[in-house]
């Protein structure tokens, strides 16, 4: 992407009940200054306007910009991506949280990173998404979602065991994978393999692979392991008991109720999320830096 193609920058940020903190405001001002130096303009989502009153507001759910910058952790970046699904607007994540696996830039590197991006010195990782939907017993779709990280079927409220059935293939031609009892199931993209699925014992998947991952959560059997599914397949999850309904949570932010007889159907999505990456910020470099994956100890062991 050439620098001339970025003329407008939209900023989203993590906010608390009391409003944005001082780090968010300082980062917004740094981004705006770097944009101005490169002949671009910056605006902020309405929730940040009180922290930086000198910057114009932008509603990214309807307004278009050339670049979106997210300030916070992975949750903020996921929220930014959800505002942009289907519009092919690049997202640059700046980490103001703890881990920030999806983010590219630390808080002390904002000016340099922004100048690099506005000069066109970056590349895009186009991350795969999942299409998830809740279907009623007649097969009619009740709700649809686009997923960047994961879709999780689980119990609401108190911790209780759920009984789930898993199927693969389109309706009418599906084959049963099996059933199990546990805390739920995670259906994740390669991007989401380093999120909730990883903490539940799932493998790390290189983002370029065309596949998705089925990871049981605390299954009540030693024989059940995460399952890697080809991108052309379709997975359905059903509830096997008639007690309280389950929940489908998408990217940890929204979801819907899954009643008895409903099916949660997941397949690869058609849209990819373009994440901005700078030189030296490859997937494997991030694994080493943030997860200490295969990093040698100080004594060389």
DSSP H or E stretch at residue 24: helix 22-37
In the residue annotation, 262 being an active-site residue is answered as: no
Please name the residues in contact with 127: beta carbons below 8 A apart, sequence gap of 6 or more: 148, 189, 190, 191, 207, 272, 273, 274, 275
Check 21, 59, 63, 74 and give the catalytic one.
74
Q: Is the distance from CB of 142 to CB of 135 less than 8 angstroms?
A: yes
Q: Which two tokens stand for residue 285?
A: 């470099």
* DSSP secondary structure code for residue 120 in this structure: T
Query: Please, which residues bridge with residue 135 across strands?
Result: 141, 263
Active-site positions? Answer: 74
């Amino acid at each position: 992407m050439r620098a001339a193609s970025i003329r407008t920058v939209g900023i989203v940020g993590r906010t608390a009940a009391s409003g944005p903190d001082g780090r968010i405001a300082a980062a917004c001002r740094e981004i705006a200054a770097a944009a101005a130096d490169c002949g671009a303009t910056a605006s902020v989502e309405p929730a940040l306007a009180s922290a930086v009153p000198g910057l114009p507001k932008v509603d990214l759910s309807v307004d278009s910009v050339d670049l979106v910058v997210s300030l916070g952790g992975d949750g903020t970046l996921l929220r930014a991506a959800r505002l942009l699904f289907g519009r092919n607007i690049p997202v640059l994540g700046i980490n103001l949280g703890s881990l920030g696996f999806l983010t590219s830039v630390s808080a002390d590197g904002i000016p340099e990173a922004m100048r690099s991006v506005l000069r066109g010195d970056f590349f895009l990782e186009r991350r795969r998404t999942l299409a998830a939907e809740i279907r009623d017993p007649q097969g009619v779709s009740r709700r649809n979602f686009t997923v960047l990280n994961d879709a999780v079927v689980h119990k609401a409220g108190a911790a209780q065991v759920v009984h789930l059935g898993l199927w693969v293939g389109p309706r009418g031609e599906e084959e049963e994978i099996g059933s199990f009892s546990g805390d739920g199931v995670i259906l994740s993209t390669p991007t989401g393999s380093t999120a909730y699925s990883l903490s539940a014992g799932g493998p790390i998947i290189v983002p370029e692979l065309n596949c998705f991952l089925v990871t049981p959560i605390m299954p009540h059997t030693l024989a059940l392991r995460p399952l890697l599914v080809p991108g052309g397949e379709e997975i359905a999850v059903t509830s096997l008991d008639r007690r309280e309904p389950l929940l489908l949570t998408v990217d940890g932010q929204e979801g819907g109720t899954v009643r008895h007889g409903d099916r949660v159907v997941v397949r690869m999505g058609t849209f990819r999320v373009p994440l901005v990456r700078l030189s030296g910020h490859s997937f494997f470099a991030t694994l080493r830096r943030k997860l200490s994956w295969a990093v040698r100890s100080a004594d060389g062991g």
